[in-house]
With several copies, the nearest count.
Chain A
Amino acid sequence: DQKARFHSMVHEFTDKCFDRCIGTPGNSLSSKESACLGNCVERFLDTTFFIVNRLEAIKQ
């Protein structure tokens, strides 16, 4: 179902973005780490749309 798919995507994004954004784990997320995590998800989605659209354009 939809909720399961949403959670599965969140697991995947966390897997991708945690190493990229979090260095040595500290006592809390810094605002920089937090911003990095949000940007990581958004830019990954942007990248997916960019690639899908460009593939469509190439095909035509």
Chain B
Amino acid sequence: AQQLLQKMTDKCFNKCITKPGSDLSGSDRACLAKCMDRYLESWNVISKAYATRVQ
């Protein structure tokens, strides 16, 4: 879970906070929430694809 948190934070910070301002704006938070959801979904898609392949 530590590894997931770290990689997701790095990815979503890079995708959503391209110009760090004086606070996290509403649109920054909206982007981070979507990015997290897509990251978790991607993790599941990839987990299934890899499981199918190594079976």
Contacts and interface: CB of A to CB of B under 8 A. Distances in A.
Question: Do any CB atoms of chain A lie under 8 A from CB atoms of chain B in the complex?
Answer: yes
A29 B20 contact: no
- Residues of B in contact with A, size category: 35 or more
A29 to B, nearest CB: 5
Contacts, number: 114
B28 to A, nearest CB: 8
Contacts of A22: 38, 42
Interface residues of A, number: 41
Nearest to A34: B45
B9 to A, nearest CB: 5
Interface of A: 6-11, 13-15, 17-22, 24-29, 33-34, 36-48, 50-52, 54-55
